[in-house]
Amino acid sequence: MYFLVCFAAFIASTTSALTGGSAACSISDGYVPVDGVCDSYIECNEYSATERLCPDGLYFNVNVTWPEDPCGFPTDVHCEGRTQPAKPTMGCEHEYGFYPSSAVNPNDCGQYHMCVGGRALEMFCPTGLAFNPTISRCDWPENVASCNLETFLGFKCPAAELDRNGKPIVTNHKYEERCYEFYSCVNGNARLLSCDPGFAFDAYLSRCVEADRVDCVH
């Protein structure tokens, strides 16, 4: 578990105008990375070079085409260089990014903060997924060490059945009295899934079938 945030209204701050800018710009219009730095870059405009800085928490994306905003989340832009000092605010380690929520219920692993301009917005993962602070994304709950899978999903998988090769068999189970969602047990870990539109879960067949074939009132 992946998220999209629009920064169309955002303009990266200018740190300095470079003298001899034409030497830094081998292209008329575009972006040039700064060696060893993750959140700084050079913008070339008619061969004139200006050094710019992404907002705190965002990295320069070398794959962006000018004049699109070249700053993106670290989850989407890999970099191991230096960054500017963090500017933390209430609930945000950086001005931009995804972080664990301070208001989260201990039994709810799916709540997190999306920080935009230093403001923490309460967000929720899609049903059945948990926020993984290691990768700053929503993920299968069994991959989140801090998440109690049984408490979070309200279901415990039965002992896994094995196939003839000794590998666990994936099994599906009814989700309370709901018609369109079900639990799928993978290696003993429960995952809450949904049937495709027009289908409902058949507890007898342990799979999704056409909705009109299921006696469903929910």
The 3-class secondary structure across 71-106, one letter per residue, is EECCCCCCCCCECCCCCCECCECCCCEEEECCCCCC
Cα–Cα distance for residue pair 130/190, rounded to 1 Å: 12
Residue 6 token pair: 């629009």
b or e along 84-97 (b: 16 or more beta carbons within 10 Å of the residue's beta carbon)? beeeeeebbbbbbb
What's the pLDDT at 1? 38
What's the pLDDT at 146? 87
Region of 91 please: left (phi>0), alpha (psi -120 to 50) or beta: left
3-state SS class at 64: coil
What's the pLDDT at 9? 34
What's the pLDDT at 29? 92
What's the pLDDT at 215? 86
pLDDT per residue as tens, the chain (218 positions): 333 343 333 444 444 444 444 457 988 899 999 999 999 999 999 999 999 999 999 999 999 999 999 999 998 999 888 999 999 999 899 999 999 987 777 678 999 999 999 999 999 999 999 999 999 999 999 999 889 989 999 999 988 788 888 888 899 999 887 889 999 998 889 999 999 999 999 999 999 999 999 988 65
What tens digit of pLDDT does each residue of 69-107 get?
Answer: 999 999 899 988 899 999 999 989 999 999 998 777 767
